[in-house]
Amino acid sequence: MSRVLPVAVVQEQPCRAGEPLSRFCEHVQALLAAFPQVRLIVYPELHLFAADAPLNREALSASAEPLSGPRIMALGELAADLGIWLVPGSVCESGPQGQLFNTAVAFSPEGHLAAWYRKVFPWRPYEPFDPGDRFVTFDLTGIGKAGFSICYDAWFPEVTRHLAWMGAEVVLNLVRTTTSERTQEVVLARANAIVNQVFVVSVNCAGPTGTGQSVIVDPEGLIRAAASGAERTILTDVLDLDHVSRVRRFGTAGMTRVWDQFRPGDPPLSLPLYQGSIDPLRWKPQLPEPEDQAG
């Protein structure tokens, strides 16, 4: 069974203050008309929130809605109307106990809210969001499994490592980097892909708000598509998720098989930082074996 995922990565300016959601819907519809083969469309972090809005709790809270709110309902209807997987960036979410979360959302081609992920590592001290408390993966039905990270999460190797261990074959890294370290983030996207043998899709917003340089990286760390600068652009690619299985079976560059490092009987390795350990019996990712995937 072929497990290919045609994607469109949208390096775009955030929506303007007061801009109706219908304008975003029109943008998605036009994009799909131009690229009808695409099955997953991904936008940057906080794409639906004004580029010129102050990054303070009061302003962001005024734009926040619960996941049962009208914004989520409308986005689900859009995904269903177009029959695609839609990741419209992250949204400002009003939490059940009054929290303010930076939350990535994914909608299925049936219009369901298939997954939501609350940013675990807000960029402190600059971001006023409350941190999430769990890592999130979700099934792309009949294709494979994806995981979420948001911007600064990529600087913490624990995030991508846990997503890979939970079965993610592609990590969607939604970014709104406006500062000078985007060059380092591209290095991190490649490094996270290499050490976990996963695809990494890192989509930043365009200038003048963001610094662009969005990338699609394969499980061996090779850049498949890239925006050279901060201009508005769309990256398209077809991700073959069986590539993840092949790299893990035969090794990066035909050599390195990091997920086969430990064998039953090897002693657990203490991790003092986490007051835990790497246990060889728990090491390998939660993925079916290659022969099962081909069935």
Per-residue tens of pLDDT for the chain, all 295 residues: 679 999 999 999 999 888 899 999 999 999 999 999 999 999 999 999 977 677 788 888 988 999 999 999 999 999 999 999 999 999 999 999 999 999 999 999 999 999 999 999 999 999 999 999 999 999 999 999 999 999 999 999 999 999 999 999 999 999 999 999 999 999 999 999 999 999 999 999 999 999 999 999 999 999 999 999 999 999 999 999 999 999 999 999 999 999 999 998 999 999 999 889 988 888 989 866 555 443 3
Residue 116 is assigned to a structural domain of this protein:
yes
Q: What CATH number is given to the structural domain containing 226?
A: 3.60.110.10
Residue 45 is assigned to a structural domain of this protein:
yes
- Does the global pTM surpass 0.85? yes
Residue 187 is assigned to a structural domain of this protein:
yes
pLDDT value of position 1 = 61
Residue 290 is assigned to a structural domain of this protein:
no
Write out the residue range of the structural domain in which residue 20 sits. Answer: 4-263
SS3 letters across the chain? CCCEEEEEEEECCCCCCCCCHHHHHHHHHHHHHHCCCCCEEECCCCCCCCCCCCCCHHHHHHHCECCCCHHHHHHHHHHHHHCCEEECCEEEEECCCCCEEEEEEEECCCCCEEEEEECCCCCCCCCCCCCCCCCCEEEECCCEEEEEEEHHHHHCHHHHHHHHHCCCCEEEEECCCCCCCHHHHHHHHHHHHHHHCCEEEEECCCCCCCCCCCEEECCCCCEEEECCCCCCEEEEEEEECHHHHHHHHHCECCCECHHHCCCCCCCCEEEHHHCEEECHHHCCCCCCCHHHHCC
Instruction: State how many domains the chain has.
Output: 1
